Amino acid sequence: MTTNDIASLMDHTRLGDRRALAKVISVLENINTSAGDRDYIIDKLFAKDTNARFIGISGTPGVGKSTLIQAYGKFLVEKGRKVAVLAVDPSSPVGGGSILGDKTRMAEIAVHENVFVRPSPSMGFLGGLTAQTYLTQLLCAYAGYEHILVETVGVGQSEVEAAEIVDLFIVLCLPNSGDELQGIKKGILEIADIVAINKADGELLSAAERAKMELENAFQITRSMGVKEKDFITLSAAKNKGIDKLHETIESRYHARAGDLKSKRLNQKKAWFRKELESRLMKILRQKKSYQKFMQTPIADVSKTQTIQSFVDQYAKKLINSDS
């Protein structure tokens, strides 16, 4: 793709052309994209700050994330806002594509002209996925989307990384309680900014309120340990209840913490850039013949004559000019 094509695509993206936006995302996702094209896009994305909201929505499968995104997306669109939904699917390791089909489940809002929906293939590399989603977020903002909702699935490290690239991290859970809070992991609870208990309607209403109280109490115990401030709310995504309260909670966070947000975004930018530099350098290293030879030495050959570390040291010495 010539730089002219990219420039034109970026112009169309900035003017709100959804097809151009989708194409630029594909260009960034494509590992064969030239460094020049990437640089051009990245330069545009980092040229000025954005007021868009980057909201992460997490929770284990079946907790109602898609329903919530659908409900909140609709709420925002009815207020005249432009909404982008990035679904970070756990990808099929065999097929390589997005299997859950959030795009289909998003059908109701996806057809609206002010809505852009994009499921992300994971490409089998988690760190890369988060870095990629970070750029996709910025691109959506560049295209004029004001609320970028990033749906993540799973527990553990992927969630921690996802939480780092968004402004606010919402964790959705079910109105259960007890020793093992079904549908929520404590590690995830800790990184949440907003904890939303779903299905707070009908016969589960009182259970949801009770779960909210229990979580608030648990939070009081852990807050002295340096756990970050969080809000607890109940809602019913399916019944469209509590969506206004969710919006209020999100917006008040933005208004109360504009300074925090600015420094958080600066840190995100720095962290992304460091990752980008290291991965580009690794790409160059991995292409060197001597590097390939180094990596393909069988462990038996190494341990027969020397320790693994002296083997690595020797290669490192060969690789690196003597800078102190």
Interaction between residue 271 and a second copy (CB under 8 A): no
Stretch that binds a second copy, among 70-78, 186-194, 206-214, 234-242 (CB under 8 A): 186-194
Contacting a second copy within 190-209 (CB under 8 A): 190-191
DSSP 52: -
Minimum distance between the CB of residue 160 and a second copy, rounded to whole angstroms?
A: 5
Minimum distance between the CB of residue 164 and a second copy, rounded to whole angstroms?
A: 10
- H or E element that contains 148: strand 147-152
Smaller CB separation from a second copy, 2 or 252: 2
Contacting a second copy within 228-267 (CB under 8 A): none
Can you say whether residue 177 is alpha, beta or left, with left for phi > 0 and alpha for psi between -120 and 50 degrees?
A: beta
User: What number of residues does the chain have?
Assistant: 324
The residue count for binding a second copy (CB under 8 A) is 78
Interaction between residue 285 and a second copy (CB under 8 A): yes
Smaller CB separation from a second copy, 38 or 241: 38
Q: Which of 146, 254, 249 is nearest to 197 (CA)?
A: 249
d(CA 85, CA 25) in angstroms, rounded, equals 13
Pair 54, 20: CB distance under 8 Å: no
Stretch that binds a second copy, among 198-206, 235-243, 246-254, 299-307 (CB under 8 A): 299-307
**CA distance readout (Å), 319 to 77, 185, 285, 324:** 55, 44, 9, 14
> Could you say which of 22, 218, 227, 238 contacts a second copy (CB under 8 A)?
227
Interaction between residue 324 and a second copy (CB under 8 A): yes
Pair 214, 225: CB distance under 8 Å: no
Minimum distance between the CB of residue 155 and a second copy, rounded to whole angstroms?
A: 4
> Could you say which of 82, 147, 185, 230 contacts a second copy (CB under 8 A)?
185
Smaller CB separation from a second copy, 78 or 180: 180
Interaction between residue 312 and a second copy (CB under 8 A): yes
> Could you say which of 15, 213, 256, 295 contacts a second copy (CB under 8 A)?
295
Structure tokens at 5: 């094509």
Smaller CB separation from a second copy, 76 or 172: 172
Minimum distance between the CB of residue 229 and a second copy, rounded to whole angstroms?
A: 13
d(CA 289, CA 295) in angstroms, rounded, equals 10
Smaller CB separation from a second copy, 91 or 249: 91
Interaction between residue 182 and a second copy (CB under 8 A): yes
Contacting a second copy within 75-134 (CB under 8 A): 90-95, 99-100, 122, 124-126, 129
Stretch that binds a second copy, among 4-12, 14-22, 74-82, 188-196 (CB under 8 A): 188-196
d(CA 29, CA 129) in angstroms, rounded, equals 9
Pair 116, 85: CB distance under 8 Å: yes
Interaction between residue 62 and a second copy (CB under 8 A): yes
Interaction between residue 158 and a second copy (CB under 8 A): yes
Interaction between residue 186 and a second copy (CB under 8 A): yes
- Phi, psi for residue 169 in degrees, rounded to 5: -120, 115
d(CA 88, CA 69) in angstroms, rounded, equals 13
- Strand 115-120's sheet: what is its strand order? 115-120, 83-88, 147-152, 53-58, 168-173, 194-197, 231-234
d(CA 275, CA 268) in angstroms, rounded, equals 11
